[in-house]
Amino acid sequence: VPIAPVAIVFMGAGTFAMIHIAKALRHDPTPADTASNMQLPIGGKALWMGGPALTVLTIGGLLSTCGPVRPPTLRSLQDLNEQFVQLGPILNEHLYQDVSESFGDCKALWEYKVGQGDVSAQSIWQKETCSGTTPLFQKEVTMGTAPRRHRIKTMVLWAKGVNTLEVERVRVQPPLNPLVATQDWHLNASAAFADLHVFMKVFVDDKEWCSGYICC
């Protein structure tokens, strides 16, 4: 508990209590007494009301300018990089829990699972495990010359295991030359997927040539 704010509060409360005690000791109140004829002890309101307020402001100002200061937790660039090392496991845990497992054509992924027998056709689709309605990538090109010209269509339907991305290292690097006018700081991060599977299809002249997981 901060000692200085608590002390100020208790001092203010104590001063307020002393004012009422002083009023009670001055004379016994009678029914004829009213708020208008009640008087404070020697010094009046300027001393008994303004004094505590001025004291609180003075002590608060002194504590804010000359009081104890909590030492900073980061004193150097090395300390900052060490903090990134400690935050790595926490960041990876959030990625695993908060990021969808799969991205891409979720309907095609569901139909593939049903066809493989991984899930039942009557089971409920879990939308939170997949995000997207279209393939991640698709492109069609024509290769060769007549009469051996072929149309090749490539589709990446979905990627599974996206939430297994693990941040391995995050590091801040200072400018290489401290004498130049423009100082460039660099934030370098490296990460890798622990269990990523990309499903791809390739068609040659509208005929399926390749279909399945290609990595990783």
Packing angle, helices 3-26 and 50-66, rounded to 10: 170
pLDDT of residue 51: 72
Contact 144, 199 (CB under 8 A): no
pLDDT of residue 43: 61
pLDDT of residue 160: 94
- What are the structure tokens assigned to 172, written together? 């801040």
Cα–Cα distance measured from residue 193 to residue 7, given in angstroms and rounded to the nearest whole number = 55
The pTM for the full model equals: 0.59
Q: What is the mean pLDDT of each run of 10 residues along the chain (216 residues)?
A: 61 69 60 53 65 76 73 84 92 92 93 87 72 94 87 95 94 90 93 94 93 85
Cα–Cα distance measured from residue 162 to residue 137, given in angstroms and rounded to the nearest whole number = 16
SS3 82: helix
